């Protein structure tokens, strides 16, 4: 039997020599992998004729749904996983901050002086698990009798310590995720990562949506990624235009003196744009050289 | 040597027979535990005279600071720890919710159908750790080929699974804290807990601030605890007054038909008020009997 196939926007159809849609349609695999080309001899109206039969219509519906599902599944770009990880790290930061405030309020009933003496939440959660109140107070040159902390029985301290442990685990998870972002960014976007580090790079990627979009943006767009609110406020109300978005946190911009920050951001965005294009079109690694160029200019 | 002592709002002072503040002031313990009573022979002006000497003034300053610190430390009411635990459980609920949304968004790239099929975040986080995608889809009567989920390499799945594990641990912590609240509430406020369960009881306690306050509130205040916003809106703008606060979640109020909810809340608050008074004044346990009374009325 001779076969022909027909491809249109809804999919690829295989016809037998009587110009009827083949029963084989139900062998789903075959539709999906069919690579036959549409030929001039299979005009569309044969398809419509065949689809008038309910049996084939149902088969085709099923087949096109499957094709669509496969296309959805295949549409996942690898960099999208990094974008997810970055949002997650941001969320963990927020979450850890909220839990830390609760932990401190609770723990301060027991040992207020130590809590006030240390600002970093992570270190705080760690230390109160490792050392006794007496040891922690001794470091501040105090005794337990001089503390305003109350005596709390062990069974009431337990939930506080469990919360501290959970906090430490949350921070450890954050560290592992940051490492994952670092590794993956270095693999997928080596040049962008060399230019601006994995976190800033991943955030640019997240706002852009995909590496393709990031690569095709002009440098001026990259400069303002993450400053959309200020940009639209400028367009709508004529307020001062923003000079930088996410890249404000880049060490080069951060350490430049205020008057030059805008200039630094412009040059940085320029080079990031080049780096993104190299990454997208799989060019040779040039990230370090690009970064050095900007660094030398703004020392 | 004969000693006299003088007590005023700043503390207790010990004098020797020459009416000078004793050097013993520096023996801090003695001041704190001194139980001698003020006598008619030690008029206040002797104190003032002694304090004119810088040495004694400094000593007294130190002593009174210590006394104040001790008082702060001793002011911790045991029920305040439960209040902290309740706020913490609320925070964990919020935090777990936010993380669960992130986990789902991330995991849905891999297996969207399963995520959509299960609503409970806790169960979701648990199941994706226990079973493979194939098994989870099989339960929905699907194969992996029919899923819209993408193929994700193992190293990219790892951070997702770590997040799921963290979620499960967070839920476990919440469960342990809820248990702690239950145990402590039953010990400290047995009657209130019998009346309305540990969580609602602890929330009432948290809003009231202390058991003493809760015990001294009239029943109508207890009825509206937690509905402060609606109450003040009523007072300011004449909007409809609230009928219940935290106790709206009490099973008796929750299952009563809308028209009778207000009545049920009033009667319930009445009995909770009695229960709180019994708890505060350490009376005999009557919580179960009180609860039964309300339950029989609103069956």
Q: Does the pLDDT value for residue B164 go beyond 80?
A: yes
Contact B146 A184 (CB under 8 A): no
Query: Which of A2, A64, A13 lies closest to A37, judged by CA?
Result: A13
Contact A147 B69 (CB under 8 A): yes
Residues B205, B193 contacting (CB under 8 angstroms): no
- Cα separation, A61 vs A211, in Å, equals 34
In tens, the pLDDT along A111-121 reads 999 999 999 99
pLDDT band (50, 70, 90) for residue A49:
low
Identify the residue with better confidence: A265 or B70: A265
- Cα separation, A141 vs A117, in Å, equals 12
Contact A76 B173 (CB under 8 A): no
Those residues with Cβ within 8 angstroms of residue A220's Cβ, 6 or more apart along the chain or in another chain = A266, A269
A273 vs chain B: nearest CA distance in angstroms?
26
Q: Does the pLDDT value for residue A32 go beyond 70?
A: no
Contact A148 B73 (CB under 8 A): yes
Domain B79-179 has CATH 1.10.287.4070: yes
> Measured between beta carbons, which residues in chain A are less than 8 angstroms from residue B87?
102, 105
Query: Given B105, B148, B170, which is nearest A69 (Cβ)?
Result: B148
Helix (H) or strand (E) holding B221: helix B219-224
In tens, the pLDDT along B91-148 reads 999 999 999 999 999 999 999 999 999 999 999 999 999 999 999 999 998 888 888 8
B contact test, residue of A31, A69, A84, A93 with most B CBs within 10 A: A84
Q: Does the pLDDT value for residue A48 go beyond 50?
A: yes
What separation in angstroms does the CA of B54 have from each of A132, A142, A258, B4? 37, 25, 53, 21
- Cα separation, A219 vs A216, in Å, equals 9
Question: Which stretches of A149-240 are DSSP H helices?
Answer: 154-188, 190-208, 211-216, 219-224, 228-237
What phi, psi does A257 have (nearest 5°)?
A: -70, 150
What separation in angstroms does the CA of B18 have from each of A129, B44, B49? 52, 15, 12
Q: Give the angle A108-A114-A118 at the CA atoms, nearest 5°.
A: 110
DSSP state string for B180-193: HHHHHHHHH-HHHH
Query: Given B74, B98, B151, which is nearest A150 (Cβ)?
Result: B74
In tens, the pLDDT along A129-179 reads 999 999 999 999 888 888 888 889 999 999 999 999 999 999 999 999 999
Contact A173 B163 (CB under 8 A): yes
Q: Does the pLDDT value for residue A8 go beyond 60?
A: no
> Measured between beta carbons, which residues in chain B are less than 8 angstroms from residue A80?
109
> Measured between beta carbons, which residues in chain A are less than 8 angstroms from residue B145?
28, 66
Least confident of A19-33, A207-221, A240-254, B158-172: A19-33
Taking residue A136's Cβ as centre, other Cβ atoms within 10 Å add up to: 21
Q: What average pLDDT score do residues A77-102 get?
A: 91
Ordered by start, the domain boundaries in chain B are 4-74, 79-179, 189-297
pLDDT of residue A91: 93
- Superfamily of domain A189-297 in CATH is Nop domain (1.10.246.90)
Rounded to the nearest integer, the mean pLDDT of chain A is: 83
pTM for the whole structure: 0.76
Pairing of strands A4-8, A11-15: antiparallel
Query: Given A150, A176, A180, which is nearest B76 (Cβ)?
Result: A150
Those residues with Cβ within 8 angstroms of residue A195's Cβ, 6 or more apart along the chain or in another chain = A201, A268, A271, A272, A275, A287, A290, A291
Contact A95 B95 (CB under 8 A): yes
Taking residue B287's Cβ as centre, other Cβ atoms within 10 Å add up to: 23
Contact A159 B170 (CB under 8 A): no
Identify the residue with better confidence: B52 or B206: B206
Q: Does the pLDDT value for residue A25 go beyond 50?
A: no
- Residue A289 Cα to chain centre, angstroms: 26
pLDDT of residue B48: 62
Percentage of residues of chain A with pLDDT beyond 90: 47
What phi, psi does A77 have (nearest 5°)?
A: -85, 140
- Cα separation, B59 vs B26, in Å, equals 6
Q: Does the pLDDT value for residue A15 go beyond 90?
A: no
């Amino acid at each position: 039997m001779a076969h022909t196939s027909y491809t249109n926007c809804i999919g690829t159809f295989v016809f037998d020599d009587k110009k009827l849609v083949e029963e084989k349609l139900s062998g789903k695999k075959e539709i999906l992998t069919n690579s036959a080309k549409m030929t001039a001899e299979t005009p569309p109206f044969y398809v419509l004729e065949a689809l008038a039969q309910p049996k084939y219509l149902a088969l085709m519906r099923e087949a096109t749904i499957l094709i669509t599902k496969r296309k959805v599944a295949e549409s996942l770009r690898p960099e999208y996983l990094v974008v997810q990880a970055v949002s997650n790290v941001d969320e963990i930061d927020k979450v850890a901050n909220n839990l830390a405030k609760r932990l401190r309020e609770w723990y301060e009933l027991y040992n207020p002086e130590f809590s006030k003496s240390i600002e970093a939440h992570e270190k705080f959660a760690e230390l109160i698990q490792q050392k006794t109140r007496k040891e922690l107070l001794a470091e501040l040159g105090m005794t337990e009798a001089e503390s305003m902390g109350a005596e709390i029985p062990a069974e009431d301290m337990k939930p506080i310590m469990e919360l501290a442990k959970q906090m430490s685990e949350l921070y450890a998870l954050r560290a592992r995720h940051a490492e994952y972002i670092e590794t993956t960014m270095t693999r997928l976007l080596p040049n962008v990562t060399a230019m601006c580090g994995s976190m800033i790079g991943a955030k640019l990627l997240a706002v852009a949506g995909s590496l393709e979009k990031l690569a095709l943006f002009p440098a001026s767009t990259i400069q303002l990624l993450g400053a959309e609110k200020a940009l639209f406020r400028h367009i709508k109300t004529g307020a001062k235009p923003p000079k930088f978005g996410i890249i404000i946190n880049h060490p080069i911009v951060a350490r430049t003196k205020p008057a030059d920050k805008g200039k630094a951001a412009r040059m940085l965005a320029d080079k990031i744009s080049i780096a993104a294009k190299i990454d997208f079109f799989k060019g040779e690694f040039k990230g370090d050289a690009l970064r050095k160029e900007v660094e030398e200019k703004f020392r």
